[in-house]
Amino acid sequence: MSRVLVAADRLIVRAGLESIIRANPALQLVGSSDNEASLIKQVEDLQPDVVLLEWSVPDDELMLEKLLALMPELSPPAFVVLADNSDNDWVTDALFKGVRAVLPNSATADEIVAAIVAAAAGLVVLHPDIVLDLLPFKETTAPALPNSPIQALTPREIEVLGMLALGLGNKIIAKRLSISEHTVKFHISSIFTKLNASSRTEAVTLGARLGLIML
C-alpha cells in the first residue's frame, strides 16, 4: 500500500484529491497540506511514499521551484504534480529535479491513481498530452496510437508493464508482487489486449510513448 500526502492550496481541490485517495484500497492518505511550510514538515515527519501536489495558481511558481530545489535534501517521496503549466522547459526541469509524474489539472481520478501507483513503483509518468508536446515531431507524423491506456490499464497492470520494461521474467514479477505466475500471465495478456500489442517489446514501447513508463 502506497502512503500518500495531498497538497493543494484550495480546500475544494484538496478535499477532492483526498476522496480519490480514500476510495482506492491500494492507497493510504497519511496527511494533507495547504502551504509550503506545512508540506515540508509533513514530508519530513510522515515520510510518505508519494506527494500528490496540485499546482494551479501562477503566483505559486516560485513556491514550486523552491520545493523542487529542496527535494534532494528531503528523504524524497515520489512527487506527482497536477499542473496547468505544461511548458516543455518546466516539465523537463521538474523531471530532472525529481518529480515522478506530471498530469494536467483535468486528469481523471483513474489517471491520478494510475500515476500515483506507477510513481510509487519508481516509474516516471507523463500524460499523453504532455508527451506529445515534448516529442521532437508532430503528432501527425507519429504512427497511430491506441486510445490512452492510462484510463484502461489497472494500477496493477501498470506495475507489471513497468517490470516488463526492466526485462523481468514472469517468475520474478510474481515474487516481487506476491502473486502467482498465472496471475502475472493474466495481467500481461490483458496489457497486450488493451495496448493492441503482440509482444512484450511492443507493449513496453507503446507504454513509454503514451507516458505510462520511462525507458
Rounded distance between C-alpha atoms, residue 208 and residue 215, angstroms: 6
Using left for φ > 0, alpha for ψ between -120 and 50, and beta otherwise, residue 78 falls in beta
Rounded distance between C-alpha atoms, residue 171 and residue 49, angstroms: 26
Q: Quote the pLDDT of residue 113.
A: 92
All structural domains of the chain with their residue ranges? 2-134, 144-209
Digit-coded pLDDT (tens) for 166-213? 888 899 999 988 999 899 999 998 888 888 888 888 888 888 887 777
How many other β-carbons are positioned within 10 Å of the β-carbon of residue 175?
13
Contact 206, 164 (CB under 8 A): no
Q: Looking at the predicted structure, is the pLDDT value of residue 2 above 60?
A: yes
Phi, then psi, of 38 in degrees rounded to 5: -65, -40
Q: Looking at the predicted structure, is the pLDDT value of residue 39 above 80?
A: yes
Torsion of CA 19, 21, 26, 28, to 10 degrees: -110
CATH of 2-134, one of 3.40.50.2300, 3.40.630.30, 3.40.50.720, 3.30.365.10: 3.40.50.2300
144-209: CATH topology is Arc Repressor Mutant, subunit A (1.10.10)
Give the C-alpha distances (Å, rounded to integers) separating 144 from 18, 65, 141, 206: 36, 36, 9, 10
User: Mean pLDDT, the chain, as a whole number?
Assistant: 79
Digit-coded pLDDT (tens) for 60-114? 555 566 666 666 666 668 889 887 665 666 677 677 767 888 888 888 898 899 9
Q: What is the 3-state secondary structure (H, E, C) of the chain?
A: CEEEEEECCCHHHHHHHHHHHHCCCCEEEEEEECCHHHHHHHHHHHCCCEEEEEECCHHHHHHHHHHHHHHHHCCCCEEEEEECCCCHHHHHHHHHHCEEEEECCCCCHHHHHHHHHHHHCCCCEECHHHHHHHCCCCHHHCCCCCCCHHHHCCHHHHHHHHHHHCCCCHHHHHHHHCCCHHHHHHHHHHHHHHHCCCCHHHHHHHHHHCCCCCC
Q: Quote the pLDDT of residue 184.
A: 92
Digit-coded pLDDT (tens) for 132-143? 556 554 444 444
> Residue 78's closest CA among 161, 183, 5?
5
Q: Looking at the predicted structure, is the pLDDT value of residue 4 above 90?
A: yes
Q: Quote the pLDDT of residue 149.
A: 43
Digit-coded pLDDT (tens) for 115-155? 899 888 888 887 776 665 565 544 444 445 555 444 467 88
